[in-house]
Chain A
Amino acid sequence: MRWLALFRHGDWLVSLLGISFCAASFPLAWHGGVAEKAVIKRGGEIFAELDLSRNRQIEVPGLLGVTTIAVEKRRVRVVSDPGLHQYCVRQGWLERAGEIAICAPNQVSVQVLGGKETYDSLSY
């Protein structure tokens, strides 16, 4: 094995580190699976499930007023919300499985889910 003889001890170490980095990167980058649907909750209960492949806009009546949520090009976002700080609106587009926007004052949340159920981003 003339090629193997060219590996020095440290080269094996560096190769192993490289392999473990690659192995670790697969689940880290792809853990959520492909984003399939957006689940909208109001007051902790599921209000609607939107298929991300169909563009549409939905209005969710919450505690303070109406939260508008839009699906477009396999992404979802909160368009408007009566909340004071607008955190969920400013989060912008959600497109990866596991991403979530919570409009706490209005008790409305929208989360992107993949084909398989995984951890949600809050349980980490």
Chain B
Amino acid sequence: MTRSVIELTTTPEDHRIAQLAAAAIGLALIDAAIPLPLPGVKPGLSNIVTLIVLARYGWATAVWVSGLRVIAGGLLLGQFLSPGFFMSLTGAVLSLLVLGLAIRLPRRWFGPVSWSILAAFAHISGQLLLARVWLIPHNGLFYLVPLFASAALAFGIINGLIAARLLAELPDILLADTR
């Protein structure tokens, strides 16, 4: 019998994605620990990482980081494959799609703040649609649209500003050590 050795060869790109995802997961855990009055309203701090990754490394890396964050964050919070996980997944997928379009906007005029606001609205519309179709099949849900939209706008601006400021003041931020 030959002994088989499984060897994973990792590229510097893999290391970078893993480190960035770890940062995002850390923020996702902090996010979950912050108490807020309405279920579903969260600051979405880990999106700051997504925004910075988007600006630094492009959309494909952002998809990796965001996807790993959703899955690993779900596992760590014990909600993997639960409704909360699918809500988070739907939100992430929709905001990534919108971000893919948003980064094509001219950078001179539209920065991380715009991306963040657009992504936040995409996130909440995806979640509301999933909730309407699957979890709460009832139009009364739309009573909550103004609250969710306002929260999305507020947290979208705040996260976008934080990302923009980190990008401006720390040019090396998240230039992960890939040795």
- Which of A's residues lie within 8 Å of B, judged by CB? 2-3, 6-11, 13-15, 18-19, 21-22, 25-26, 29-30, 95-96
The reply to whether A9 and B161 contact each other, CB–CB distance below 8 Å, is: no
The reply to whether A8 and B121 contact each other, CB–CB distance below 8 Å, is: no
The reply to whether B114 and A14 contact each other, CB–CB distance below 8 Å, is: yes
The reply to whether A6 and B165 contact each other, CB–CB distance below 8 Å, is: yes
Q: Is B108 in contact with chain A by the CB < 8 A criterion?
A: yes
The reply to whether B143 and A14 contact each other, CB–CB distance below 8 Å, is: no
Residues of B145-179 at the interface with A, using a CB-CB cut-off of 8 Å, are 145-146, 149-150, 152-153, 156-157, 160-161, 164-165, 168
Contacts of A18 in B (CB 8 A): 117, 121, 149, 152-153, 156-157
The reply to whether B114 and A29 contact each other, CB–CB distance below 8 Å, is: no
Give Cα A22 to B151, complex, Å: 9
The interface residues of chain A, by DSSP majority, are classed as helix
The reply to whether A10 and B149 contact each other, CB–CB distance below 8 Å, is: no
- Which of B's residues lie within 8 Å of A, judged by CB? 105-106, 108-111, 113-114, 117-118, 121, 139-140, 142-146, 149-150, 152-153, 156-157, 160-161, 164-165, 168
Contacts of B140 in A (CB 8 A): 95-96
**4 nearest A-B pairs in the assembled complex, by CB-CB distance:** A10-B109, A10-B110, A11-B113, A6-B164
Give Cα A29 to B150, complex, Å: 13
The reply to whether A11 and B121 contact each other, CB–CB distance below 8 Å, is: no
Minimum CB–CB distance from A116 to chain B (whole Å) comes to 16
Cross-chain pairs A/B with CB under 8 angstroms, 5 sampled = A7-B161, A8-B110, A13-B114, A21-B121, A30-B146
Minimum CB–CB distance from A95 to chain B (whole Å) comes to 7
Give Cα A107 to B26, complex, Å: 63
The reply to whether A6 and B149 contact each other, CB–CB distance below 8 Å, is: no
The reply to whether B114 and A22 contact each other, CB–CB distance below 8 Å, is: no
Contacts of B108 in A (CB 8 A): 8
Residue of B nearest to A2 (CB): B165
Partner of A6, one of B111, B145, B156: B111
Contacts of B149 in A (CB 8 A): 18, 21-22, 25
Minimum CB–CB distance from A42 to chain B (whole Å) comes to 28
18 more A-B residue pairs beyond the given contacts A11-B110, A11-B117, A21-B153, with a C-beta to C-beta distance below 8 A = A6-B113, A8-B109, A9-B109, A10-B114, A11-B160, A14-B114, A14-B117, A18-B117, A18-B121, A21-B149, A22-B153, A25-B146, A26-B146, A29-B142, A29-B143, A29-B145, A95-B140, A96-B140
Minimum CB–CB distance from A103 to chain B (whole Å) comes to 22
Residue of B nearest to A18 (CB): B153
Q: A6-B161, A6-B168 are in contact. Are A15 and B113 (CB under 8 A)?
A: yes
Minimum CB–CB distance from A25 to chain B (whole Å) comes to 4
Give Cα A108 to B105, complex, Å: 56
Q: A7-B113, A10-B109, A14-B113 are in contact. Are A29 and B146 (CB under 8 A)?
A: yes
Partner of B111, one of A11, A26, A30, A95: A11
